[in-house]
Chains A and B, each alone.
Chain A
Amino acid sequence: MFTGFMVNTWIVATVVAIVAGVVGFFVVLRGSSFAAHAVPNAAFAGAAGANLIGASSVGGLLVFAIAGALGISFLSRRGSRDVATALAMVVMLALGALFLSFSNEYASETYSLLFGEVLGVSSSELLPTAVLAVVAVVAVVLFWRLLLLTSIDPELADARGVRTSRVELAFLVIMAVITSMSVPVVGALLIFSLMIGPPAAARSFAADPFVAVLLAVCLSLVTVWTAIAVSYLTTLPIGFFVGALGAAFYLAGRAHAGWSRKRVGASGAGASRVVAPLDDQGAVR
């Protein structure tokens, strides 16, 4: 399990999990789940196109993912974000279908692009993946406060001179970068589940944003590592385990949130908070 091809898989999967945890936290926070689904689909078209003309697949992924991100950003300034995202996704999927129809290896190619390929990571992919990972994490760190502020209320950010639409665009590009590095391993459909499941669970367990991001990364690592190991042993697709574990963590998070809310209500702490007057400050004179 830890020899030959598999070493590359472990390394890349670990890197992907870390970045998916960090970026996924903001995907969930900003309600950008749909975009996180659309951008990988764009990347899928890029990989199919790159294969067709014999170009580097990471290059194709990156170009199409960024094009998809720019398309979503451009269209959503002029209309509903939902519709813009859907439209960008549909166009990209259509292109992907076209490119694949020209290819000889239709079935296997599609399958690995969509669902990932555990044994498909070659040594030459390690460096590009690592570089893109560093870029994505540095970008999130750089935009940390702006991403938080614009998630709270766009008007609030605007009033402070922050261009919300630019922050949104930067975030979509970050999403495109992480997608491009992840599609070859976990597939276009499953990077999405990795960006949603663990971060959505993490936010139920931690109220501090820093802690929530760290927890999202941990859950994401556990998900990926477990999925690879079990997939290797059972020869069942890795994607199934990534999706199932993500959902399981999410449900655990919901249960935890529900349970702690009930506990707060029962002890009366919530009630006393609501009616607490301006006692400690004294009355207004």
Chain B
Amino acid sequence: MREDVADPTSGRAVESSPFLLELDGIGVWLSGREILRDVRFGIGPGEVVGLIGANGAGKTTIFRLVLGLLSPTSGRVLIEGQPRPRRNRSVGYVPQKISLDPEMPLRSRDLVALGLDGHRLGVPLPSRHRRELVDEMLQAVGATHFADARVGSLSGGEQQRVMIAHALISRPKLLLLDEPLANLDLRSEQEVVELVARVAKDQGLAVLISAHDLNPLLPVVDRVVYVANGHVASGTTGEVVTSEVLTKLYGHHVDVIRLHGRILVAASPGLSAERGELEDSIDGTTADGTTADGTTADGTTADRTTAV
């Protein structure tokens, strides 16, 4: 990474506000339904924050708020202490999964170059500076050896790296990653996590990374934001991922078990009277994909123990 760019960027951010991104008492109502209530958390420069929750818990809504694709019903989204402008290029975004035809004539380097100026009119003129920037970014994410391959033909992990390069080339201060580990094999998962940690450190970048399972992110996240029932709980892993905090957040009893560096979050099996309801909320309460009674560890979870 080019330090001359990264250093002043993070330096300035620290001066103006402790947080690069701050959600201040956000409430969101969509078609008569309350999606988020009094959501507040902040991310500082160089900080990696995990946004953890089940599908439909409100993670995507939070991303859409930060990207400016959705206006909150109440509260404010602040970027560097300022209200979020409508078009903000200081936020880089990697969507969950791009599905590209393997034959689409678009190479990794084309996709990364689009990150630089894809929103502009006209045809990009070939320039050495542009080419160097793209090469540099491809190298930074370890994508040099598939720079000229079609993006659609790459594996999930390779595509993630190219998408991260696409998001980073415009030198954002904040990077949003939507479920970057979904559908990745264990090896690619680990590589993407390492890459995120490295770029955050190198560029003084704030990173918000969403996942339904906290465990693969444990080595990189500085803090976590748990989302459930439209509410959030944020802090360090030690502060948030406790039986007490999560029980309050989910609205019923939750056990947190720490096991060989892994964290298992499970609804208590004791509440047999509310079994039906409990079954419905399994997705919401199980942070690591194990079943509600917390006893089943399938092949995948067993493998992950070694990863953490």
Residue B117 is within 8 A (CB to CB) of chain A in the complex: yes
Q: Mark A253-285, 1 if CB is under 8 A from B, else 0.
A: 000010000000000000001111111110111
CB distance from B46 to the nearest CB of A (A): 14
Residue B140 is within 8 A (CB to CB) of chain A in the complex: yes
Task: Tell me whether A149 and B142 are in contact in the complex, defined as CB-CB below 8 angstroms, given that A156-B95, A209-B110, A278-B195 are known contacts.
Answer: no
Instruction: Please provide the chain A residues from 103 to 162 with a CB less than 8 Å away from any CB of chain B in the complex.
Output: 141-146, 148-149, 151-153, 155-162
Residues of chain B within 8 A (CB-CB) of A233 are none
Q: Contact check: which of B88, B91, B121 meets A146 at CB < 8 Å?
A: B121
Residue A204 is within 8 A (CB to CB) of chain B in the complex: yes
Residue B273 is within 8 A (CB to CB) of chain A in the complex: no
Residue A6 is within 8 A (CB to CB) of chain B in the complex: no
CB <8 Å contact, B98 and A257: no
Q: How far is the CA of A142 from the CA of B123 in the complex (A)?
A: 7
CB distance from B220 to the nearest CB of A (A): 9
Which B residue sits closest to A213, measured CB to CB? B105
CB <8 Å contact, A280 and B142: yes
Residues of chain B within 8 A (CB-CB) of A275 are 187
Q: How far is the CA of A257 from the CA of B101 in the complex (A)?
A: 13
Q: How far is the CA of A159 from the CA of B187 in the complex (A)?
A: 29
Task: Tell me whether A152 and B98 are in contact in the complex, defined as CB-CB below 8 angstroms, given that A145-B117, A160-B118, A278-B191 are known contacts.
Answer: yes
Q: How far is the CA of A146 from the CA of B120 in the complex (A)?
A: 7
Residues of chain A within 8 A (CB-CB) of B187 are 275
Q: Contact check: which of B88, B103, B111, B145 meets A204 at CB < 8 Å?
A: B103
Q: How far is the CA of A148 from the CA of B120 in the complex (A)?
A: 11
Q: Contact check: which of B122, B140, B144 meets A142 at CB < 8 Å?
A: B122
Q: Mark B143-158, 1 if CB is under 8 A from A, else 0.
A: 0111011110001011
Q: Mark B93-120, 1 if CB is under 8 A from A, else 0.
A: 1010010100111110011001001111
Task: Tell me whether A159 and B123 are in contact in the complex, defined as CB-CB below 8 angstroms, given that A148-B110, A204-B103 are known contacts.
Answer: no
Instruction: Please provide the chain A residues from 188 to 212 with a CB less than 8 Å away from any CB of chain B in the complex.
Output: 202-204, 206-209, 211-212
Q: Mark A148-184, 1 if CB is under 8 A from B, else 0.
A: 1101110111111110000000000000000000000
Q: Contact check: which of B93, B121, B148, B157 meets A159 at CB < 8 Å?
A: B93
CB <8 Å contact, B95 and A155: yes
CB <8 Å contact, A145 and B123: yes
CB <8 Å contact, A274 and B93: no
Instruction: Please provide the chain B residues from 69 to 111 with a CB less than 8 Å away from any CB of chain A in the complex.
Output: 69, 86-89, 91, 93, 95, 98, 100, 103-107, 110-111
Q: How far is the CA of A142 from the CA of B120 in the complex (A)?
A: 9
Residue A29 is within 8 A (CB to CB) of chain B in the complex: yes
Task: Tell me whether A203 and B105 are in contact in the complex, defined as CB-CB below 8 angstroms, given that A141-B123, A148-B110, A156-B93 are known contacts.
Answer: yes
Residues of chain A within 8 A (CB-CB) of B117 are 145
CB distance from B227 to the nearest CB of A (A): 19
Residues of chain B within 8 A (CB-CB) of A279 are 142
CB <8 Å contact, B197 and A145: no
Q: How far is the CA of A162 from the CA of B69 in the complex (A)?
A: 11
CB <8 Å contact, A148 and B118: yes
Residue B137 is within 8 A (CB to CB) of chain A in the complex: no
Q: Contact check: which of B93, B100, B110 meets A208 at CB < 8 Å?
A: B110
Q: Mark A77-107, 1 if CB is under 8 A from B, else 0.
A: 0000000000000000000000000000000
Task: Tell me whether A280 and B93 are in contact in the complex, defined as CB-CB below 8 angstroms, given that A144-B122, A145-B123 are known contacts.
Answer: no
CB <8 Å contact, B87 and A145: no
Task: Tell me whether A161 and B87 are in contact in the complex, defined as CB-CB below 8 angstroms, given that A146-B121, A148-B106, A204-B103 are known contacts.
Answer: yes
CB <8 Å contact, B119 and A161: yes
CB <8 Å contact, A207 and B107: yes
CB <8 Å contact, B149 and A207: yes
Residues of chain A within 8 A (CB-CB) of B67 are 158-159
Q: How far is the CA of A204 from the CA of B195 in the complex (A)?
A: 32
Q: How far is the CA of A160 from the CA of B170 in the complex (A)?
A: 11
CB <8 Å contact, A146 and B146: no
Q: How far is the CA of A281 from the CA of B138 in the complex (A)?
A: 11
Task: Tell me whether A145 and B146 are in contact in the complex, defined as CB-CB below 8 angstroms, given that A158-B69, A277-B191 are known contacts.
Answer: no
Q: How far is the CA of A273 from the CA of B124 in the complex (A)?
A: 29
Give me 25 A-to-B residue pairs in the complex whose CB atoms sit less than 8 angstroms apart, sorted by A's number: A29-B104, A143-B121, A145-B114, A145-B124, A146-B120, A148-B106, A151-B104, A152-B100, A156-B93, A157-B119, A160-B87, A160-B119, A161-B68, A162-B119, A202-B105, A203-B103, A203-B104, A204-B103, A207-B105, A207-B106, A207-B149, A207-B150, A211-B105, A274-B158, A284-B197
Contacts A146-B118, A211-B105, A277-B191 known; 6 new A-B pairs at CB < 8 A: A29-B104, A146-B120, A152-B98, A160-B119, A257-B103, A276-B145
B-side residues, CB < 8 A to A, are 67-69, 86-89, 91, 93, 95, 98, 100, 103-107, 110-111, 114, 117-124, 139-140, 142, 144-146, 148-151, 155, 157-158, 187, 191, 194-195, 197-198, 201
A-side residues, CB < 8 A to B, are 29, 141-146, 148-149, 151-153, 155-162, 202-204, 206-209, 211-212, 257, 273-281, 283-285
Q: Ordered nearest first, which 4 A-B pairs have the shortest CB separation? A: A161-B87, A149-B118, A212-B105, A159-B93
